[in-house]
């Protein structure tokens, strides 16, 4: 297992895959840790999570540098990722007990009835490379504080980040093995899911990976939360604030070099403002600086791996061959590393890859529609249903359209984002189950009814 610097293609580090004996020891240790951790008072768990936030904030540059080295994310974006991890820890340090307090329910006179929320056990978290800290802490902060223990299977190209995260929990004072990780290949994951000690599974990744993991966890009757791919529409109506929409749209498409499930990928633009918006979006993308992600002036770094760059370019090329018009970009940069420029496609046939598949890079697929109803149809014409963004000066109109969009998260006059205070989820091939807020922390607990009568 290797991690490479995507900006240079140089090998950073090589890691040994854990053998069966090592995996067995770590699962046994996780189970043993759960027995005492689940009995630890909520107040203590919250205090420890607050300590994690302190460790993150005290070492933000160190952790951000590791993210940039392994993923190629511009350093300021990596810093923002670490700070967001501290935020989610602070949120659950303040609210976990509130979200999981016993819920008293009146049933019959004289009876005491309530619902209590009890942890399940070790939870396997299969996490991706694109947000190597945030995706892990989005899982760990609520579910470990709920009394579960975490077993992380991270992507093989970000194992430096995985080890750093393990050390953070140790520095914060957590008992041994409340959070642990295993270094295994994808073909060994199903065996870990089937292990009796693993009581639940969460995955952030591709739809293909989600289906495979869900099939295994479902056959074992183990609950799961799956945040999968997305091809989010960015709807620009005829009354949209075009300057802001273009500026935010460029950010929404290119943040993390476009390697985000909730990035704006399909721009659905009313014909009345199509040319104006396209000109503005083109100007915004042309103004972005592509380069060394450690340099402060860099807006877009490299793709994270060579195979990701190749897949992205193949889909752009196939879309052009199918009839799409290449307005901007469209060729990998001739330099060391895995750099792909901001790219715009228009006049895209409905069966072209840019319309039907997730383009995981800085490629904007721009569609023209002549009505609000057509915008909704095009937006929903996707196997995915993760997020959607609507732009209009009439917020009532935007809210009405939001009700008709098939997505787990809809934002009006804002890019799609996750926030610890509100639930985050998908529909259709974008997965199921909630993360974050009160809803997310209750995914991996036993919701037990207690009924007492004299």
What are 341-382's pLDDT values in tens digits?
999 999 999 999 999 999 999 999 999 999 999 999 999 999
Residue 454 has pLDDT above 90, yes or no: no
Q: What percent of the chain has pLDDT over 90?
A: 99
Cα angle value 127/130/131 (rounded, 5°): 75
Orientation angle between helical segments 60-71 and 42-58, nearest 10 degrees: 70
User: E strand or H helix at 269, and its extent?
Assistant: strand 264-270
CATH fold of 2-228+430-452: Aldehyde Dehydrogenase; Chain A, domain 1 (3.40.605)
Helix, strand, coil: what percent of the chain each, to 5?
45, 20, 35
> Domain residue spans in the chain?
2-228+430-452, 232-412
Average pLDDT over residues 222-229: 97
Model pTM above 0.75: yes
Average pLDDT over residues 80-99: 98
pLDDT per residue as tens digits for the range 331-341 = 999 999 999 99
Residue 204 is predicted with a pLDDT of: 98
Average of per-residue pLDDT values in the chain: 98
- Residue from 301, 303, 307, 329 nearest 317 by CA: 329
Residue 128 is predicted with a pLDDT of: 97
Average pLDDT over residues 185-205: 97
Phi, psi (deg, nearest 5) at residue 314: -60, -40
Residue 420 is predicted with a pLDDT of: 98
pLDDT tier for residue 111 given thresholds of 50, 70 and 90: very high
- Residue from 438, 77, 6, 382 nearest 228 by CA: 382
pLDDT per residue as tens digits for the range 120-164 = 999 999 999 999 999 999 999 999 999 999 999 999 999 999 999
Q: Which residues are catalytic?
A: 227, 261
Asked if CATH classification 3.40.50.920 holds for the domain at 232-412, the reply, yes or no, is no
Residue 107 is predicted with a pLDDT of: 86
């Amino acid at each position: 297992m290797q991690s490479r610097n995507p900006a240079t293609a140089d090998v950073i580090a090589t890691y040994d895959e854990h053998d069966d004996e090592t995996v067995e020891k770590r699962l046994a240790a996780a189970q043993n840790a759960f027995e005492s951790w689940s009995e630890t008072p909520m107040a203590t768990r919250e205090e420890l999570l607050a300590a994690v936030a302190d460790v993150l904030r005290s070492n933000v540059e160190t952790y951000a540098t590791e993210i940039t080295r392994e993923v190629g994310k511009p350093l300021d974006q990596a810093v923002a990722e670490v700070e967001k991890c501290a935020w989610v820890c602070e949120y659950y340090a303040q609210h976990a007990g509130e979200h999981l307090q016993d819920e008293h329910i009146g049933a019959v006179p004289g009876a005491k009835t309530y619902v209590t929320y009890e942890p399940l056990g070790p939870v396997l978290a299969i996490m991706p490379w694109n947000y190597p800290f945030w995706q892990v802490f989005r899982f760990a902060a609520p579910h470990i504080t709920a009394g579960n223990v975490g077993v992380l299977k991270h992507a093989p190209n970000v194992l430096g980040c995985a080890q750093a995260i393990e050390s953070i929990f140790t520095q914060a004072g957590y008992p041994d093995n409340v959070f642990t990780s295993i270094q295994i290949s994808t073909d060994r994951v199903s065996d870990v899911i089937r292990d009796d000690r693993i009581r639940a599974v969460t995955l952030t990744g591709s739809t293909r990976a989600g289906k495979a993991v869900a099939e295994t966890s479902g056959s074992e009757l183990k609950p799961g939360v799956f945040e999968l791919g997305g091809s989010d529409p960015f709807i620009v109506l005829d009354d949209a604030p075009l300057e802001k929409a273009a500026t935010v749209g460029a950010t929404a498409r290119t943040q993390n070099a476009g390697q985000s499930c909730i990035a704006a990928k399909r721009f659905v633009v009313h014909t009345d403002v199509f040319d104006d918006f396209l000109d503005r979006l083109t100007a915004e993308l042309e103004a972005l600086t592509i380069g060394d992600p450690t340099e402060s002036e860099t807006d877009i770094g490299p793709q994270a791996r060579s195979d990701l760059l190749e897949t992205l370019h193949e889909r752009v090329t196939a879309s052009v061959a199918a009839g799409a018009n290449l307005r901007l970009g469209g060729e990998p940069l001739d330099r060391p590393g895995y750099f792909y420029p901001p790219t715009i496609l228009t006049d895209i046939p409905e069966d072209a890859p840019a319309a039907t598949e997730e383009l995981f890079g800085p490629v904007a697929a721009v569609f023209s529609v002549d009505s609000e109803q057509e915008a909704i149809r095009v937006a929903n014409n996707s196997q995915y249903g993760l997020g959607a963004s609507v732009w209009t000066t009439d917020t009532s109109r935007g809210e009405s359209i939001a009700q008709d969009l098939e997505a787990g998260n809809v934002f009006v006059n804002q890019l799609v984002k996750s926030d610890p205070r509100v639930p985050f989820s998908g529909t259709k091939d974008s997965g199921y189950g909630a993360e974050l807020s009160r809803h997310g922390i209750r995914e991996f607990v036993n919701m037990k009814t207690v009924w007492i009568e004299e």
